[in-house]
Amino acid sequence: MDEGGIQEEPPSSAAAPAEARPLRPTRSGGGGPRWVDGSEVDSSESTHPSLGDERSHPGISTADDADSGGAPLSRRFSSGFRRRLGKRPKRVDSLDVEAMSVRGAHGHGTTDMSWMGTAAMAFQTLGVVYGDMGTSPLYVFSDVFSKVPIKSEVEILGALSLVMYTIALIPFAKYVFIVLKANDNGEGGTFALYSLICRYAKVSLLPNQQRVDEDISSFRLKLPTPELERALCVKECLEKKPLFKSVLLFLVLMGTSMVIGDGILTPSMSVMSAVSGLQGQVAGFDTNAVVIVSILVLLLLFSVQRFGTGKVGVMFAPVLALWFINLGSIGIYNIIKYDISVVRAFNPMYIYYFFEMNGIKAWSALGGCVLCITGAEAMFADLGHFTVKSIQLAFTAVVFPCLLIAYMGQAAYLMKHPHAVERIFYDSVPDALFWPVLVIATLAAMIASQAMISATFSCIKQAMALGCFPRIKIIHTSKKVMGQIYIPVMNWFLMVMCIIIVATFRSTNDIANAYGIAEVGVMMVSTALVTLVMLLIWQTNLFLVLCFPIVFGAIEFIYLTAVMSKLLEGGWLPLAFSSLFLCMMYTWNYGSVLKYQSEMRGKISLDFILDLGSTLGTVRVPGIGLVYNELVQGIPSIFGQMLVTLPAMHSTIVFVCIKYVPVPYVPLEERFLFRRVGQKDYHMFRCVARYGYKDVRKEDHSFFEHLLVENLEKFMRREAQELALEASTMEAERDDVSDVPEVPPFPATAAEDLHVPLLSDQRLSDENRMSGPEGSVPLLPTSSISPEEDPSLEYELSALREAMASGFTYLLAHGDVRATKQSFFTKKFIINYFYAFLRRNCRVGTAALKVPHSNIMRVGMTYMV
């Protein structure tokens, strides 16, 4: 275990024993028939249920039909597809049933909101989602016309037409109407898309996945259609090709690292653009003054982060609403006063004239045009705080028209004053409104920066939850809003980088050369992932699926080539930051996967523990020992090391696995899953504590311990009830065995199999193990004894309470991960140096749990990978 254990199981075949595969039968080879979730069906499986031990659960399924021979293709397809839908899944255990009952895991489950509520939420989105895009009129035209000088009205109308159609196609058409619908139970972002895909196909490479978690949302049963058949083929291809899994994870990590790289440039660009309005308005306010004031504003901005966005969030929406009103009103004023003929830019032919007259310069100007859509990804990334309708309403009714009017007003001003391109925004503001607009612009720039900083914190938190980022300290700044977090290390890192960028570049045009590359990269990643969602989950018509990446992917690729032309002028900066974080995340994930696989290979068999007896070959002392590990199945090798090293062992042992499931949130009442390990007198349990990737882990150790024991008592009572129920049921079946009807080969629904008693498989294994050669009394309660009156239950509960009174001890592994001598030099360098450096400098798990040092025992262990 990695000192507290927050990495979990990878989706490798070795990592998921048969008991953890409730919805997939045993694979029989490449050509066998499959269920609707894409898994193969073994024709040799029995049609009747059978009971096995904890390590093996034979499935409940029916044998395949005979080969169709020369039957027509349509008949063979129809019968084969019916077999896919009709196969009964394997019998599942208690962990599996509870794991599939996570609230909200089956569909989005969003409740309809009134129009008034949607409008109120749409107003709030102005301050959180649209700050970056709303402040883009400060610098777009000044950057575009720094590449293309204005020689005639064609340049102005062509640039305006480019900006208008860029906003209409990317944020409006792509994100508002398509990408927002690809949410994961209301959550957005690249990791949300990845977790959504992982639930529909076994493509995850992260070490925190379990087969039952990937089946939380499986394919819905549909009629045989070409779209569903194609989706199954895509799923098959993704699952069988390790290269595709690696590419998919690489895309997700690249998109996340680019968001972090974008978060370094956005505060610098926004704040400096707002402060530069004083240049030319105040005498003696030169470039040095702009740099100094910008640095002071940045220091103030990052210093207040520790108080949380909730403390200043009340003013965000009103300020941005006032900002958009100013944009729209000033734009209308300029259109009417200077040149109303700028409406001709709605004709896309001016884009053609723009490129025809300026050639390569026009293509270079696209790098400035792309600045008008920076922050578009925030509409999807910040979806978890709002609803799809509220974001769509705010953009359609306020943001989109105000931005178009603002750019048209600036173009109208340039028609009369073509030499005012350097300060186009502030020069186009009427003199009487200059100071109020300057104050509002500065506040809007700070809010836009705040939104990007918060998005960076959120991305890092999700990456940590999914095992792709080293553990660092996270502070939750709000008791009501769980998503408001503060990460001190990243906050000060961003502040230092922003100050260095402002002091080095000293100009918004120079920063703009570095701005936009990361944004376009994130957009292309989203296009690729949403295309996969269309194929795999939505099962959209193939023509529409092809249109999406062809249209939007082509536009984004053109913009990417334009911004890449500025690579030597500063564009390397966000790529350098993104590459740094990408290497860090990929290395952490790679090392964590190898470490988990090493643990899987070295886990202890249950037979070895049973041979030791209930004393475990040592002295059992009162107390509860929490053995943190990464395994949800099997006994970790570190436990054997503890039995050898420690002089005594606690009377109650709980193997705790902290794991993150691919859903945003797990309700508190469904947090823990329990299962007994060995016989009752061993007092050993397996506990899986599940968290969603958006869940908050800020409970202290005492709350965690109380919740764990409370749920363990519930498990014991439920176990006794199940055993008593099955004992009475089996007794009745023995009396009426001749009247038992035959099990139907094709059940009406696969969910019927979930009604079998949860602990039946474990009951027989426990009965076989616990009945000794001398023929002791059966340990199963009879039908005449209720669970409340069961003496064994009351004894076990009293023993648990006595152990709890004696206190908790956290048994942790102090692990060292080293590459084997046979490994290549590259692997040795990554694992022995880079990954080891990250492990030494990341936050230990006990710090996250806030456990007193007196309650911790560490056992050293080396994992050879």
Please, what is the Cα angle at 198 between 197 and 201, to 5 degrees? 85
Other C-beta atoms lying within 10 Å of the C-beta of residue 701:
16
Residue 185 phi/psi, 5-degree rounding, is 55, 40
CA distance 152 to 142: 16
Determine the 3-state secondary structure of 691 from DSSP.
Answer: strand
| End-to-end CA, the chain | 14
| Contact predicate 530/178, CB 8 Å | yes
Listed residue (484, 172, 132) closest to 474, CA to CA: 484
DSSP assigned state of 180: G
CA distance 141 to 151: 15
pLDDT for 227 equals: 63
Residue 304, judged by CB atoms within 10 A of its CB (0-12, 13-18, 19+), counts as middle
Listed residue (523, 490, 522, 518) closest to 575, CA to CA: 518
| Contact predicate 272/515, CB 8 Å | no
Residues 6+ apart with CB under 8 A from 523: 170, 376, 377, 556
CA distances from 818 to 9, 594, 836, 860 (A): 19, 10, 8, 13
CA distance 736 to 94: 28
Q: Helix 190-200 and helix 517-533: axis angle, to 10°?
A: 20
Strand order of the β-sheet with 808-818 is: 672-676, 684-692, 648-661, 619-628, 808-818, 856-864
pLDDT for 244 equals: 85
For the chain of 865 residues, list the mean pLDDT of each consecutive stretch of 10: 36 35 36 37 34 34 35 42 38 39 40 75 83 88 89 92 94 91 79 79 62 41 56 79 84 87 83 82 82 90 74 71 93 94 93 91 88 84 79 92 95 91 89 90 83 80 81 74 75 90 82 76 90 85 89 92 80 84 90 84 84 85 87 82 85 86 75 84 87 69 82 87 80 59 41 33 40 38 49 84 87 82 87 87 63 76 79
CA distance 154 to 247: 43
| Contact predicate 589/467, CB 8 Å | yes
CA distance 459 to 483: 11
Listed residue (747, 852, 750, 751) closest to 809, CA to CA: 852
pLDDT for 789 equals: 57
Burial 823-835 (b: 16+ CB within 10 A, else e): beeebeebbeebb
Residue 493, judged by CB atoms within 10 A of its CB (0-12, 13-18, 19+), counts as middle
Which amino acid, 398? V
pLDDT for 483 equals: 60
